[in-house]
Structure 1
Amino acid sequence: MEEHPIQGLMTTAMENLQKMVEVNTIIGDPVKSLDGSLIIPVSKVGFGFAAGGSEFSPNHSDGDSDATLPFGGGSGGGVSITPVAFLIVNEQGIKMVHMDQHIQLYEKMIDFAPQVVDKVQQLMKESAESKKGSDKEEKVKEKEDRRRDGPIQFDI
């Protein structure tokens, strides 16, 4: 069976996209710095692809049912590559430096979450203890005030 023209369009577009993007597109090639650190770029990759076509019936009919219909079509594709971070590998360990500061903020918040929870629990405990202590002090003060004022008298 003969290949439809749209298949050729799609095949060509996909092959060219495949040539543009390889495995090292997302995790880039490492770069060695003067201090011996390896810097590895990390990127976000987005793809888009579209193809379409149409066959037009001929204006005249000459009785030839096997005649190929005129074909019109097109295809296109695109790739968006955006750097998002760099991995820095050195003797101290591995560090990720984000290009977007909001992501780095969220990571720091997650890192500090256990410490924040501990501090809140400690403050709540201290608050509860000081409240118990102040309640006892108020009761003692009320008793002293009653003694000082003398017995309570009612006029009937």
Structure 2
Amino acid sequence: MDRHPIGDLTEVTLSKIKEMVDVNTIVGDPITTPDGIMLIPVSKVTFGFGSGGSDFPKTEKPAFGGGNGAGVKIDPVGFLCITDGVVKMITITSPASSTIDRLVEQVPDILDRIDQFIDKHKKQ
């Protein structure tokens, strides 16, 4: 059975998407800061794909009309932060809209600082 031309169009489009988006697009290359903290960027990738075609009555040449389309959207989500073997996810969100929102966002960081303060004083 002959291969249909829409299959070739689809393969080309999908191969181009694969060239643009791979695992390194979602989990990026690690970045190490001068003080030894490793940050690994994390993104969300969304894509859509569509194809269509039409066959016409045969003349001397096979008559075919078709097309493909695709779209890719990459949104940064946050960073994996690795400090002294401890991994935390730092998310990127829209700015807090109120004082209470900003305070709530700071609670995990404040608790971490309190933990570090207590650990430091226990060692002394």
TM-score normalised per structure 2: 0.70
Structure 1 residues 92, 77: CA separation in 2 closer, same or farther (over 3 Å shift)? same
Equivalent residue, structure 1, for 2:73: 80
- 1:93 corresponds in structure 2 to 86
Alignment partners' CA distance in 2, 1:91 and 1:5: 55
Secondary structure of the residue aligned to 1:42 is strand
Greater strand proportion: 2
Letter in 1 for 2:4: H
> Equivalent residue for 1:130?
none
- 2:69, 2:19 → 1: CA distance? 14
Identity of aligned residues (%): 43
> Residue 7 of structure 2 corresponds to which residue in structure 1?
7
Query: Which amino acid is the alignment partner of residue 93 of structure 2?
Result: D
Instruction: Give the number of the structure whose alpha-carbon radius of gyration is greater.
Output: 1
Q: How far did residue 69 of structure 1 move?
A: 4.1
Q: Deviations over 1:19-73 (max 9, x none)?
A: 1111111111111111111100111110111110011226xx8xxxxx5541100
Structure 2 runs not aligned, ≥5 long: 96-100, 109-124
| Shift of residue 94, structure 1, vs aligned partner | 2.2
**TM-score w.r.t. length of structure 1:** 0.56
Distance 1:15 1:92, change over 3 A: closer
Corresponding letter in the other structure for 2:55: E
The list of structure 1 runs, each at least 4 consecutive aligned residues, that deviate by more than 3 angstroms after superposition, is: none
